[in-house]
């Protein structure tokens, strides 16, 4: 019984720590005056309309922010990532092309179902130098966990860029979910790293990272 209580206490502490840490990051986020520069702009998909006719509000904000970076010359390569039905990356790709992104400057990853998979599958692209800076575009509440996920996947220099830099702070649904997703992600990432170290084929455990 004492062991179970310790497990519960650790879980509660982890969730509260994740919530407080993420909330502080969101509240204190200060957008840089100058646009960042990197080898690639990576835009994380959040969701699409269920009928496949367009992007959800947060994903549209992320795409808009990524397009602004691309047009400013922040990077010459753009990556859109996110699966689902319909695959959000496919909708983002079509919108990016319509907005003037050159086809040879755009990479699409449409199989991921989580931030960890976003990171792993993006790292698979041979055109991306993981030692070079990449600009990560998502909402403020998602940036800390996304940054950690991409570093876990092997990216050495990850620059955070918020799609919502000027919005007021509030305890949103996304922020509250991060409190649960942080410790859950940490456990899954640790398990996947252990499996990889043991030469377990990635296809054997990748589904557990969804």
Give the CA angle between residues 27, 46, 38 to the nearest 5°.
70
Please report the pLDDT score of residue 53 as a whole number.
Answer: 66
Number of neighbouring beta carbons within 10 Å of residue 210: 11
CATH, residue 87: 3.40.50.620
Angstrom distances, CA of residue 22 to CA of 29, 32, 107, 122: 10, 19, 29, 24
Please report the pLDDT score of residue 62 as a whole number.
Answer: 96
Residue spans of the chain under pLDDT 70: 1, 3, 8, 48-53
Under 8 Å between Cβ of 108 and 125: no
Task: Name the domain count of the chain.
Answer: 1
Please report the pLDDT score of residue 101 as a whole number.
Answer: 97
Give the pLDDT confidence of 84-97 residue by residue, as tens digits: 888 999 999 999 99
Range of the domain at 141: 2-165+173-209
Under 8 Å between Cβ of 27 and 158: no
């Amino acid at each position: 019984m004492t062991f179970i209580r310790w497990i519960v206490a650790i879980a509660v502490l982890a969730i509260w720590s994740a919530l407080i840490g993420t909330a502080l990051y969101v509240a204190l986020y200060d957008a840089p005056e100058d646009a960042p520069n990197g080898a690639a702009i990576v835009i994380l998909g959040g969701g699409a309309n269920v009928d496949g006719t367009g992007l959800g509000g947060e994903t549209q904000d992320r795409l808009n922010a990524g397009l602004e970076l691309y047009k400013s010359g922040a990077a010459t390569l753009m990556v859109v990532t996110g699966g689902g039905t319909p695959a959000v990356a496919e909708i983002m790709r079509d919108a990016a092309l319509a907005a003037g992104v050159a086809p040879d400057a755009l990479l699409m990853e449409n199989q991921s179902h989580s931030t960890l998979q976003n990171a792993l599958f993006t790292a698979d692209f041979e055109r991306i130098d993981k030692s070079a800076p990449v600009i990560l575009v998502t909402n403020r509440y998602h940036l800390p966990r996304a940054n950690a996920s991409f570093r876990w996947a092997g990216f050495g220099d990850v620059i955070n860029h918020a799609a919502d830099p000027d919005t007021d702070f509030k305890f949103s649904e996304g922020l509250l979910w991060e409190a649960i997703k942080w410790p859950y992600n940490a456990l899954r990432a640790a398990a996947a790293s252990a499996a990889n170290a043991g030469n377990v084929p990635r296809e054997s455990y990748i589904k557990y990272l969804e």
